[in-house]
Structure 1
Amino acid sequence: MEPIDLSPVERRVWRAFPAGTPLDLRDGDDDPEHGGGWGASRTLRASVLRKLLLRPAVDGELAALRVNGARITGRLDLRYATIPHPVRLSGCRFDEEPELYGAHLRQLNLSRSFLPGLVAQTIRMDGVLRLTECRVPGQVRLGGARLAGALFLERARLGDDGAPEEVLHLNHSVIEDDVWAPSLEARGQIRLNGATVAGMVNLRQAVLLTPGGRAFDGENLKVGSDVVATGARFDGEVSVRGAAIPGLLVLTQARLSDATCALRATSAVIGEVWLRDARVDGTANLLRGRFGLLHAAPDAFGGTVWLDGLTYGLLTPRLPAKARIATLERDEEGYVPHAYEQLAASYRQAGDDRAARNVLLAKQRRHRSTRPRYARLWGYLQDVTVGYGFRPLWAAAWLAGLLAVGTAVFGPHPPAPLKADEHPPFNALFYTLDLLLPIIDFGQEKAFKPAGWHQWLAYGLVIAGWVLATTIAAGITRTLSRQ
């Protein structure tokens, strides 16, 4: 039985409901954002819709509320209600934010509608929740929601210049499909803290603006596949701290900017992170992150980086070690040994041992810069002579040069023998080798005694030999300890 106080348009909706007949109220002026002036022929009271939705279904009919282009006055209060019928209120204007706290619905479609806000914490949805192209200047509160289908937010506009800091709250929600939000525009924070998304989070070409705040909060977010934000723009921090993303985090061609921290992925476990042609203007905090693959050119990071504890399997694109080392030297914490070891391990995994050695050499040089001035001398000596053990051929070059000098000096002017009647024939080459090599004994050094400045040259060769031997031994020890 119909209520007797229904308006003509409400009566049409009431009669269309039992069979799920669509009702289109559009008349040419169809922008719901400016629908405050829609007349009585398009106006429905929220209280009437509530009574209609709470009606039991008629046997043999598939009831549904399908209305397009209506103005809904009053507050649609469905708190804790169980609505077994599909609800589609598309292109509608809500004068007040709907109250769906704790409600249980089969499916809800509010596409292209204007809502001051949406209160729907702990809502249960047997199907999808569609907010496609919605305009919501206030908050969409879906904390603790459980959706058996997807959440659609493509081309939606959330918040405005005077909006609260948080415009979409999905904390601890469970979505058993995708969060589908390409081209979403949000002037305020998007929060998925502790949320679980069985499918993917799609933010392609999205624009999230929270200057000085957090634009995207995905801390402890768990997704079944990927988070894709190709070409997106984030003005404010993007945080996926502690997130578990087994597939891809795609920030290709994205722009991230924040005065303090533009990207935070601390302790996140991610299959692949793609920053191809991306730009991160602000600090990138990747502490203790674990990535299977990291695709990031050095110029992707416009600010400082935090890399201590970061591990990754492959690092692409493949670049010379010098280009990657420059990024490590911008670490906010200064000298971070683990960052160098991880980069070297990545080069070794790719089969580029030479690049790995260059990285480890850079590590020793950076470590030297952190030591007191008096302690740097030994480091400089190891660097010049054998490149901290990573340039063994340098030692050979030094030995060859010193050997040539000694041979050239002692050859024309042999030193006097210690015992005139007991000495081997003098050989300038092997005499110099005896001076340079502290372990090998050719019998020349003990048989002859130089004098004058030749004696000082001999002392210098002995000292140089010991220094070379010590630095070579230190380099070999360092190499063996890494192995």
Structure 2
Amino acid sequence: MEIGDLTAAEVRVWEAFARGETVDLGGDAVRGEVLRELLLGDHRRQGEVAALRVTAARVTGRLDLQYATVDSPVHLWACVFDNVLDLYGAQTRQLSLGESRLPGLHAIGLRVDGTLRMTRCRVTGPVRLAAARIAGAVFLDDARLGDAADPADEPARADESVLQLNRITVEDSLSARRMTVHGKVRLDAAVVGASLNLDDAELHNPGDTALQAPTLSVGSDFNAMRLTAHGRVNLRGVRIPGHLNLGRARLSNPGHMALRLSGAVVGELLLRGAEPIRGEVTLRRSQIDFIYLAPEAAPPTVWLEGLTYTTLAPHEPAERRLPLLEREKHGYVPHAYEQLTAAYRRMGDDAAARTVQLAKQRRHRGTLPAYARAWGHLQDATVGYGFRPVRAAAWLVSLLLIGSVTFGLHEPRALKPDEAPAFNALAYTLDLLLPIIDFGQEKAYTPDGAAQWLAYGLIVTGWVLATAIAAGVTRTISRQ
């Protein structure tokens, strides 16, 4: 291509390229084939660092750089592209498309030795960066991707992946603050060496998946404060050694899965100030050191089987945490109660731990046959399954008082008056009530009439109460 074949705007770009200077075209057009020739041809000057730095240009035709190796930095700032920018399998030193408007970006397998910048970009079609490798950082702050569809078009758009970052490797950070996406975002098996930031982002794909990021690996933190997600957020199997911050986030997928965080390994899961999650949440088989979740932000349905965690904050009474365990998708899950009990014990709140264990026994009782449920009700009423020992003492004192007063007013007759010890109503009641106690009163005296029936009742109640106490104490000791 000869310089005589170029327009005035293209001549300016051609001459500035060799010197690495910036050209502001103010909306003038430049052909994609001219830019391709500059980037792939030998148009450098001795002692100068060539770079394509163009601002406010309209790029006509196709800029096709498939499999190309571009040795110069590429800065196409605030440009308007008539056609999809094709960087499939290409390699470049640095790529900046900030504030540009594109119908799409085809850059699967792209290699960038420095930074990829798409800040404030407007892309109406798919952005395909699958399997790309970025040595620096990626910036998608304030970008707008995809088009808001009419409600009638939602089902057709639901399967689209508007932003494809699956299997991408970013050696530094990936920042997409305030990004707006209409359609699916994919980060399957992506690797981000430092942090991932989706603060204030808006992801819209109602009825389907808004963020698809299974087995995502992040080097430090995943920030998504004030994230708005209409559709499922799938973080299955992610690895985040720092925190996953969903503070003040709004997650909504009513009637379906809103947050899938199963099989994940996360340092801290933070939901400070988050709105109540609309939809189901699964944390099955995840390992999380610290969870911050206020009871009022809890979802209507949860999957907690196999979840392990060390600390649960903020510190709340057990009565405010237990309703979440009752929302378990599969009903009674013993492991969830054991985890909550362990968390309270680590905080030194033994009373709350006992409350959780009592609630666990009551939930378990509902899974038993009728005869076992009856025995469970008895243990609950008498000793609270061993977690309410004061209740047993109250029963004993009450029965002891009733027996002592009754037999004090209606003294039983002596079986052998000459040999019987002096009658003591308190000792006699203890003899009847406690199977292992023998003061010699029960053998020496026998009541008549209604008092006799009271004696029978005390004997039976004593045996039942003693058995329940023994079972409860045994359970408590074995758990300790």
Q: TM-score range by the shorter chain?
A: over 0.9
Instruction: Give the aligned partner of residue 154 of structure 2.
Output: none
Matched residue, 2:445:
448
Question: Hey, what does 2:9 align to over in structure 1?
Answer: 9
Matched, 1:98 2:85: yes
Contact 2:412–2:445 at 8 Å: present in 1 too? yes
Q: Please say if residues 270 and 290 of structure 1, whose CA atoms lie closer than 8 Å, have aligned partners that are also in contact.
A: yes
Structure 2 residue 42 is matched with structure 1 residue 47: no
1:192 aligns with 2:187: yes
Counterpart residue number, 1:34 = none
Residue 459 of structure 2 corresponds to residue 462 of structure 1: yes
The separation in 2 between residues aligned to 1:453 and 1:370, in whole angstroms, is: 40
Using the alignment, how far apart are the partners of 1:78 and 1:475 within structure 2?
A: 75
1:363 to 347, 360, 363: 360
Structure 1 partner of 2:164 = 169
1:284-316, CA deviations, whole angstroms, 9 ceiling, x for partnerless residues?
111112111111111112421111111211111
2:220 matched residue in structure 1: 225
CA drift of 1:55 comes to 2.4
Matches within 5 A, 1:373-412: 373-412=370-409
Offset of residue 2 of structure 1 = 4.2
Tell me what 1:235 maps to. 230
The amino acid that maps onto 1:263 is L
| Corresponding residue for residue 47 of structure 2 | 60
Check whether the contact 2:32–2:62 (CA below 8 A) recurs between aligned residues.
yes
Correspondent of 1:338 among 315, 324, 335? 335
Distance 2:470 2:189 in 1: 53
Q: Number of matched residues?
A: 469
Per the normalisation by structure 2, the TM-score is 0.95
* Secondary structure of 1:365's aligned partner: helix
Amino acid at match of 1:53: L
Pairing partner for 2:247 from 249, 252, 265: 252
Partner of 2:319: 322
CA distance in 1, matches of 2:221, 2:215: 14
Secondary structure in 1 matching 2:211: strand
Shifted more, 115-124 versus 3-12: the winner is: 3-12
Deviation beyond 4 Å, 4+ runs, structure 1: none
Asked if the contact 1:90/1:113 (under 8 Å) is kept, the reply is: yes
Q: Residue 204 of structure 1 aligns with which residue?
A: 199
Secondary structure of the residue aligned to 1:121 is coil
Letter in 1 for 2:77: S
Q: How does 1:13-92 map to 2 (within 5 A)?
A: 13-26=13-26, 42-56=28-42, 57-92=44-79
> Do 1:271 and 1:292's aligned partners in 2 also have CA atoms closer than 8 Å?
yes
User: What secondary structure sits across from 1:410 in the alignment?
Assistant: helix
* Residues 183 and 204, structure 2, Cα contact 8 Å, conserved in 1: yes
Cα displacement (A) at 1:276: 1.3
1:195 partner letter: A
State the shift of 1:448 in Å. 2.0
CA contact (8 A) 2:101 2:123 kept: yes
User: Any idea what SS the aligned residue of 2:441 has?
Assistant: coil
CA contact (8 A) 1:154 1:184 kept: yes
CA contact (8 A) 1:281 1:301 kept: no
Q: State the 1:413 CA deviation.
A: 2.3
Cα contact 1:165–1:210 (8 A) shared by 2:
no
Cα drift, residue 419 of structure 1: 2.6
Matched, 1:149 2:136: yes
Does structure 2 retain, via aligned residues, the 8 Å contact 1:407–1:429? yes
Larger displacement relative to structure 2 (163-172 or 267-276): 163-172
Q: Partner of 2:258 in structure 1?
A: 262
SS at match of 1:292: strand
Q: Is the 8 A contact 2:162 2:181 kept in 1?
A: yes
Cα distance in 2 for residues equivalent to 1:417 and 1:194: 87
Displacement of 1:441 in angstroms is 1.8
* Structure 1 stretches lacking a partner, 5+ long: 27-37
Task: Give me the whole-angstrom Cα distance separating, in 2, the residues matched to 1:418 and 1:80.
Answer: 110
SS of the residue corresponding to residue 85 of structure 1 reads coil
Could you tell me how far apart the structure 1 residues matched to 2:68 and 2:444 are?
Answer: 107
Deviation of the 1:229 alpha carbon: 1.1
Q: Distance in 1 between matches of 2:299 and 2:88?
A: 43
Matching residue within 308, 311, 326 for 1:311 = 308
Aligned to 1:435: 432
Q: Structure 2 counterpart of 1:291, which letter? A: I
Partners of 2:410 and 2:451 within 8 A in 1: no
> What is the Cα deviation at residue 59 of structure 1?
3.3
How far residue 118 of structure 1 moved from its aligned partner, in angstroms, is 0.6
**1:3 CA displacement:** 4.2
8 Å CA contact retained: 2:130, 2:164:
yes
1: distance between equivalents of 2:406 and 2:233? 69
Q: Could you tell me how far 1:423 is from its partner in structure 2?
A: 2.4
TM-score, normalised via structure 1 length? 0.94
Where 1:160 maps in the other structure, the secondary structure is coil
Residues 236-286 of structure 1: CA distance to partner in whole angstroms, max 9, x if unpaired? 011111001111111111100002011110111111111111121111111
| Aligned partner of residue 283 in structure 1, secondary structure | strand
Structure 1 residue 374: deviation in Å?
Answer: 4.2
Indicate the SS of the match to 2:13: helix
Q: Deviations over 1:144-192 (max 9, x none)?
A: 1111111100000000135662111111111011111110000011111
Q: Which sits farther off after the overlay, 441-450 or 93-102?
A: 441-450
State the distance in 1 between where 2:46 and 2:353 align.
74
User: Is the 1:2–1:14 Cα contact (8 Å) retained in structure 2?
Assistant: no
Deviations 1:423-477 (A, max 9, x none): 2222111111111111122222222222322222111111111111111111112
Shift in Å, 1:372: 3.8
Which residue pairs with 1:136 in the alignment? 123
Runs of 5+ in structure 2 lacking a partner? 150-156
Which whole-Å CA distance do the structure 2 matches of 1:304 and 1:251 have between them? 18
Task: Give, as a single letter, the amino acid of the residue that structure 1 aligns with 2:444.
Answer: A
For residue 281 of structure 1, what is the aligned residue in structure 2? 278
Q: Equivalent pairs: percent with the same residue? A: 56
Q: CA deviation at 1:76?
A: 1.2
